[in-house]
Structure 1
Amino acid sequence: MSKPEILLETGTNEFEILEFFINEETIDNKEIGGNYFGMNVAKVVEVIESPNLESKNYSVNPCFLGTIPLRDVVLPVIDLSIWLGMDRVKHRYENIIVTQFSNSIQGFLVSGVVEIQRLNWNELIPPGNFIRSMDTKSIIGMVDKGDHFIQLLDLEHIVSDLNPESIEELWKTEVKADQNYKTLVVEDSPTIRKMLEKNLKKSNFQVNMTNNGAEAEKYLENLKAQAKAENKTATDFLDIVICDIEMPLVDGFTLTKKIKEDTELQDLPVILYSSIITNELRHKGESVGADFQVSKPDMNQMAEMAIKLIEGQ
């Protein structure tokens, strides 16, 4: 199964996921299904049959199953069930979902694949008390399909947790603004939020955070009300918006479009970022008025570009 062409209209708040499942074993050795998960199709390269890998006793992390050759690539494989704390029932025919994002390629072992689902971001329920606390950092949110729930995974968190040094090195920046600029960061992943906040503060930014586009909309509406009450403009309170593209409730494209169509906010520079900025995504970002777009492997450019946009360079 190869990755299909993604054809989604910009600003419609739609996205596509690959739905898959993990069969779990109970204490009394009974097999149960119903553990459905999803990952963004934009990060999926293909789905292949698993060569029946076993966890290596000498592995630093029990999730790591070793590597397999995939054409001209040596593919590291992660057992997703171990990461999620599940006791997977092993079958002869299982799948590896090959993914590529944040300058890395890896495979995730799962029980099987269901289908590609086209969804609206407002269908994604942010994680809350209904998800086990041990899983909340790995789960972006849930989708209610009526007869079952799909849990959407935060793949960046999983990979960065397995290899934190490489991510920290990737995002290093030595840039520092001459004055304290105010930024709104819109990001649903706790891992990425933490790293962005750390790097921007180091570069002399005052950082305000929201978890998704819907929260950002409320934040900006409150900002407009404050500006009106004090006879000021929104840009007196905020210098730039830095926003993930893929988020629950309201995505980055939709949020950017609303900002640029709002006469009180349209002068705010907006930086969009994603795991991979393809030509298609770049075109979509330009069509909604994004001032700059960057992929997560190049996030070390974030502070420098934000300063340039604010200062009109």
Structure 2
Amino acid sequence: MSEQEILLETGTNEFEILEFHINEKAKEENKLEKNFFGMNVAKVVEVIESPNLGSNNYSVNPCFLGTIPLRDAVLPVIDLSIWLGMERVKHDHENIIVTQFSNSVQGFLVSGVVEINRLNWKDLIPPGNFIRKLNTKSIIGMVDKGEYFIQLLDLEHIVSDLNPGSIEEQWKTKVKTDKAYKVLVVEDSPTIRKMLEKNLVNSNFQVTITNNGEEAEKYLTDVKSQAELKNKTINEFIDIVISDIEMPLVDGFTLTKRIKRDTKLQKLPVILYSSIITDELRHKGESVGADYQVSKPDMNQMAEMAIKLIEGRQANTEN
């Protein structure tokens, strides 16, 4: 997968998804209905053929199909159709999509893989009323392909739901700030949003939440207007921005680039985070001016680093 990956220009608001499908029985007799889904290519390691796994009656969760050997590792496999409440029609050449994110590696069983799509985050439509029968918490957006929609999955939500408490335990921190610093959190996943907010509130931060980069830009525009109207500084309204990288409408790289190019906002510290901060992602974050970058398995460092950046900026201002 890495050899074929298209290197995207930083701050262009573009991303890639791996499109795949899960087959169900159609209402018409002897016909299949293909349901199309997508996941971020950055989280995909490889695609392999399924060894025809059956359901594991001994598993605590029916989604868990057991494990398979993968080179020098053992790969847990999750049946996406069961998680999504679908009755998959089995066939002999199904695929397992091997993924890595948030310090875990797992495979997702699907009916088949279609292709990689290069998209703009603005192409991603919020789920809204389009999705009724599926678990909407695991769908972060939809892409209109003309003849059908691709539903983009929130993989972190799926994995954390199957192993409740695992991610939240990793994020615990004992750091507290004496002053209630004001932080803008930008995150599209309800699961991650909730855990990050809890983490920061426990560290004595005042937290404002927006669901994506576009909402964050609107909020920051309003902050600038309020500051000008009341003859105050930006820092009296907000101390730091903490943002996910992969988001619909406007991604974290693009948001950071626009903040750092804005003369009134550019001194605001920005922390970017993602499931895995690779060398390539780190380079992209640096190129748009991010002050710090952290991977989700290391989110327990978030509050501590936010405090250091805020107080470091204040010290520089005083000098």
TM-score by length of 2: 0.95
Task: Tell me which amino acid in the other structure corresponds to 1:89.
Answer: V
1:113 & 1:130 partners in 2: Cα distance? Answer: 23
Q: How has the CA–CA distance of structure 1 residues 21 and 134 changed in structure 2, closer, same or farther, with 3 Å as cutoff?
A: closer
Q: How has the CA–CA distance of structure 1 residues 6 and 278 changed in structure 2, closer, same or farther, with 3 Å as cutoff?
A: farther
Deviation of the 1:158 alpha carbon: 0.2
1:57 & 1:147 partners in 2: Cα distance? Answer: 38
User: Residue 84 in 1 paired to residue 84 in 2?
Assistant: yes
Deviation of the 1:166 alpha carbon: 1.5
2:132 & 2:294 partners in 1: Cα distance? Answer: 33
Task: Tell me which amino acid in the other structure corresponds to 1:253.
Answer: F
Deviation of the 1:219 alpha carbon: 0.5
Q: How do residues 171-182 of structure 1 correspond to structure 2 at under 5 angstroms?
A: 171-182=171-182
1:60-116 alpha-carbon deviations (Å, 9 max, x no partner):
000000000000110000000000000000001100000000000000000000000
2:201 & 2:81 partners in 1: Cα distance? Answer: 36
Deviation of the 1:28 alpha carbon: 7.1
Query: What is residue 136 of structure 2 aligned with on the other side?
Result: 136
2:44 & 2:36 partners in 1: Cα distance? Answer: 17
Structure 1 gap segments, 5+ residues each = none
User: Residue 306 in 1 paired to residue 289 in 2?
Assistant: no
Query: What is residue 61 of structure 1 aligned with on the other side?
Result: 61
Structure 2 gap segments, 5+ residues each = 314-319
Q: Which moved more, 1:26-35 or 1:6-15?
A: 26-35
Deviation of the 1:3 alpha carbon: 6.3
1:135-158 alpha-carbon deviations (Å, 9 max, x no partner):
211011000011111000000000
1:236 & 1:115 partners in 2: Cα distance? Answer: 48
Task: Tell me which amino acid in the other structure corresponds to 2:21.
Answer: F
Task: Tell me which amino acid in the other structure corresponds to 1:7.
Answer: L
1:127-178 alpha-carbon deviations (Å, 9 max, x no partner):
2121127521101100001111100000000000001221121111110011
Query: What is residue 18 of structure 1 aligned with on the other side?
Result: 18
Extract structure 1 runs of 4+ deviating beyond 6 A.
none
Task: Tell me which amino acid in the other structure corresponds to 1:291.
Answer: D
TM-score by length of 1: 0.97
1:165 & 1:302 partners in 2: Cα distance? Answer: 18
Alignment identity in percent? 81
Q: How has the CA–CA distance of structure 1 residues 3 and 168 changed in structure 2, closer, same or farther, with 3 Å as cutoff?
A: farther
Q: How do residues 1-313 of structure 1 correspond to structure 2 at under 5 angstroms?
A: 4-26=4-26, 30-132=30-132, 134-312=134-312
Deviation of the 1:49 alpha carbon: 0.2
Query: What is residue 316 of structure 2 aligned with on the other side?
Result: none
3-state SS of paired residue (1:282): helix
Instruction: Note if contact 1:3-1:41 (Cα within 8 Å) is conserved in structure 2.
Output: no
Q: How has the CA–CA distance of structure 1 residues 29 and 69 changed in structure 2, closer, same or farther, with 3 Å as cutoff?
A: farther
2:27 & 2:58 partners in 1: Cα distance? Answer: 27
Task: Tell me which amino acid in the other structure corresponds to 2:23.
Answer: N
Deviation of the 1:4 alpha carbon: 2.7
Task: Tell me which amino acid in the other structure corresponds to 2:81.
Answer: S
3-state SS of paired residue (2:136): coil
Task: Tell me which amino acid in the other structure corresponds to 2:286.
Answer: E
2:250 & 2:183 partners in 1: Cα distance? Answer: 19
3-state SS of paired residue (1:23): strand
Deviation of the 1:289 alpha carbon: 0.2
2:301 & 2:246 partners in 1: Cα distance? Answer: 20
3-state SS of paired residue (1:143): strand
